[in-house]
Amino acid sequence: MSHQSFFASVERNFDKAAQHTGLPQGLLEQIKVCNAVYQIKFPVKIGDEYHVIEAYRVQHSHHRLPTKGGIRYALSVNQDEVMALAALMTYKCAIVDVPFGGAKGGVKINPRAYSEFELEKITRRYTTELIRKNFIGPGIDVPAPDYGTGAREMAWIVDTYQTFKHGDIDSAGCVTGKPVSQNGIRGRAEATGRGVFYGLREVCSFKEDMAKVGLEPGIEGKTMVIQGLGNVGYHTARISINEGGVKLIGVAEYEGAIVKEDGIDIEALMTHRRETGSILDFPGAKNLPKREDALELECDILVPAALENQIHAGNASRIKAKIIGEAANGPVTADAEDTLLKKGIIIVPDMYINAGGVTVSYFEWLKNLSHMRFGRMEKRFNANTYENLVSTVERLTGKVIGPKERSVLTRGADEIDLVNSGLEETMIEAYRQIRDVYISYDKITDLRTAAFVSALNKISSDYMALGIFP
Ligand code: GLU
């Protein structure tokens, strides 16, 4: 395992890209640094004892407000990690044209070591600390789920915020990833995984790019290995199989790894894990000696969907995938990247491929500010218009359209349809922008550098518009 600083790794990738932009050094420096780092230590009474909890919120860039990014609950949380993740949020938002600065939060706990009641206490106290320092609010800084947190934690956060900010009409927009019943949005839970699928499908659609790694264009039939069956990994697998015709041949989780060349039924595997507590001994699959072995399997697409630093100088040379889709943040260290690129592997960078989560968070925030569900105004109107159109076609042609086909043709879009199509469009458009940079800059030979340059061009023009850097 490599012990390279995660933030240093992000900075190194930034510097590699910055040289292609021709932007003034001072401006690049301002974009690169973390604007605000808030470290907190607070006591929480657990049983008869007091636990002192270490936590962070980092706002990397204020060029657009609010700042945005998840909150992570893990024992591995430290300042360097939260700074790196906050920085990645800035570039991620720019790449998918989500008008936020980057931020990230972290609470250094093992969430599995606490009861639900205790987690609620910790979450509410953390939120109170953020309110106290003005580090949360719909126009200030808007957290979301990340590793170790989910809709439940977001519900506690919004409730705590509203207790303090009674009467703030936009208070629901202080956090995203909330349960749908608490002002959340449909499709947010699966958004990151769905975005990973849309992104990979787009990457695989370019014949000449696929030819370079010896693959046919199109995602259908491609083999995939996934590390991590959490929210991101599970939905990536499910949607890639069901909507893309991908064959999932390997999975790694905390307890080990399995391989099954003829394809893994993801729902059956999830049931098996729920019942036995492990993915191991899944019928028809082979257990691998070590969980890390899954990363080294022969496959078309490798999707690390767990934590950072998984592919490092120690194992990079043994990676056999043709494409790596960084569903997690920072799974490939800067050292490993050099080795992988030399091997000709296509690395689809985190700041693009996992941006579906923040994209749908943006939709949720807009929904909260507009105080209305998407589709409410136009769904019925559109359905009626399509009805009239179909009836007119029937009248003019003298033919009758069957009821099933008719209901498909005349459906007005609901919230989930709009969220998914907004996400699909975002992922396609962002990839085309990155690929344009990749193709038009002679000296850029990898997608991460191209993604950084695409982000830097947008962020720098925001700064120029602010008049700070004329
Ligand atoms: N934690 C997610 C990420 O790393 C989502 C952030 C958000 O929705 O604000 O992108």
- Assign residue 116 the CATH number of its domain: 3.40.50.10860
Q: Which residue has the tokens 């099954």?
A: 260
Within a domain: 46: yes
Residue linked to tokens 């995939």 = 224
134 & 243 share domain: no
The CB of 361 under 6 Å from ligand 1? The reply is yes
Q: Do 62 and 134 share a structural domain?
A: yes
Q: How many residues does the chain have?
A: 470
**Strand pairing report for 36-46 and 49-59:** antiparallel
Do 144 and 267 share a domain, yes or no? no
Ligand 1 neighbour 71 (Cβ under 6 A)? no
Residue 297 domain-assigned? yes
CA distances to 98, 121, 317, 426 from 431, in Å: 14, 41, 27, 9
State which of 122, 154, 184 marks the end of a domain: 184
User: Which listed residue (16, 41, 68, 104) is catalytic?
Assistant: 104
For residues 197 and 155, state if they share a domain: no
* Token pair recorded at residue 434: 């990155």
Considering the domain architecture, whether residues 239 and 342 belong to the same structural domain is answered as yes
Are 330 and 88 in contact by the 8 Å Cβ rule? The answer is yes
Strands, E, within 113-187: which ranges?
A: 141-142
In a domain, 418, yes or no: no
Is any ligand 1 atom within 6 A of the Cβ of residue 230?
no
Residue 80 resides in a domain: yes
Contact assessment for residue 393 and residue 401, using Cβ atoms and an 8 Å cutoff: yes
Per DSSP bridges, beta strands 49-59 and 101-107 are antiparallel
Ligand 1: centre distance to CA 287 (Å): 32
Minimal-distance CA residue to ligand 1 atom 8: 358
Residues of the chain predicted below pLDDT 50: 1-2
- Domain count within the chain: 2
Which pLDDT score, from 0 to 100, does residue 1 have? Answer: 42
Q: What angle do CA 182, 183, 184 make, to 5 degrees?
A: 95
Angle between helix 6-18 and 447-466 (nearest 10): 80
Ligand 1 pocket test, candidate residues 90, 192, 364, 426, most atoms within 8 A of CB: 192
Residue 267 Cα, ligand 1 centroid: separation in angstroms?
A: 25
Ligand 1 centre distance from Cα of residue 81 (Å): 15
Are 197 and 344 part of one and the same domain?
A: yes
User: What are the start-end ranges of the E strands in 75-121?
Assistant: 101-107
Asked if residue 65 and residue 103 are part of one domain, the reply reads yes
The C-alpha atoms of residue 69 and residue 93 are separated, in whole angstroms, by: 9
Residue 156 lies in a domain: yes
Looking at the structure, do residues 199 and 339 belong to the same domain, yes or no?
Answer: yes
User: Which of 307, 322, 353 represents a domain boundary (last residue)?
Assistant: 353
Query: Which tokens in the block code for residue 253?
Result: 């989780």
Say yes or no: 110 and 246 in one domain: no
Q: What is the Cα–Cα distance from 438 to 83, expressed in whole angstroms?
A: 27
- Residue at 270 is within a domain: yes
Q: Is 233 in the pocket of ligand 1 (CB under 6 A)?
A: no
Helix (H, G, I), strand (E, B) or coil at 347: strand
Annotation says 104 is catalytic: yes
199 shares a domain with 347: yes
Phi, psi at residue 71, to the nearest 5°? -120, 130
152 and 43 part of one domain:
yes
Chosen domain end from 132, 161, 184:
184
pTM of this prediction exceeds 0.75: yes
For residue 357, report the distance from its CA to the centre of ligand 1, in Å.
5
Give a yes or no: residue 450 inside a domain.
Answer: no
Host domain of residue 286: 191-353
Are 201 and 344 in the same domain? Answer: yes
Distance 181 CA to ligand 1 centre (A): 20
Closest residue by Cα to residue 297 from 342, 334, 333, 247: 247
Query: Over the stretch 169-200, which tens digit does the pLDDT of each residue have?
Result: 999 999 999 999 999 999 999 999 999 999 99
Angle (deg, nearest 10), helices 79-95 and 447-466: 80
Question: 193 CB less than 6 Å from ligand 1?
Answer: no
CATH of the domain at 346: 3.40.50.720
Residue 364 lies inside a defined structural domain of this protein: no
Q: How far apart are CA 236 and CA 22, in angstroms?
A: 37
